[in-house]
Structure 1
Amino acid sequence: MHVNPKQRRRHSAEFKAQVLAACAEPGASVAAVALSYKLNDNLVHQWRRGRGASPVPSSTSTTVAESAPQFIALSLPLSPPTSAPAPAPAIAAVAVEAILLEFKRGALGVSVTWPVSAAADCAAWLREVLR
């Protein structure tokens, strides 16, 4: 019996969840995971974006949900009150207000400091990073 090579394969929700869980592991690349499961990496990218993935049974859904991005609270420094004059510093040092971003994923941690004067640029950069 000859199988048509153009016929699409159907993958179960459990299989998709297993592949997505492997992609969520720290240091895993989508291309390497796709290759190990004999899949096209574009297909796995589609599954990661939520296209083509059907609902997953509750036993494996916690694994996928744990790898989802979480809310990151940012604290911005308060500007000094304008009504009270600031005391003159003993040393000529300039205080620069900055935005501090800290990311953690598994064992990897990254800290980024961004000047408050460029907050719009920081927001644009952060949108790209979180894509």
Structure 2
Amino acid sequence: MVTDNSSVSSVTVNLVDGKTLSNNKLRVLVPGQLGEFTLIDFPPYTQLYINAVILSSETTSDDYSPSQFTLDNITTLPTITVNESGIATLFIGGTLSTSGDGTNQYINSNYDGIYNISISY
């Protein structure tokens, strides 16, 4: 919940421990969670190289909201190793920020950001 948008506030889901952290005037009502992707059909014990890039930094919402968040960054480990069954789990963390423009028209809705994950091996 954004209690005041007169300065930029942010919320982060930390990649290291999965904790949700917020600052300034953004209050967490329900903690976020890491994005989790299951990668399958790779050769066993293969090292995968991960690159995540934000494609659109402004979010969109399921319901019309005059205010949108900015997807400031996404975080992931640069490499992960596939298990003996050819499966790996990729976790994604990130940070969303408010505009800090003085308007406070964030509504209760789902907000989506667009990013690309490249995997090579």
TM-score by length of 1: 0.25
Q: Which has the higher strand share?
A: 2
TM-score by length of 2: 0.26
Q: Which has the higher helix share?
A: 1
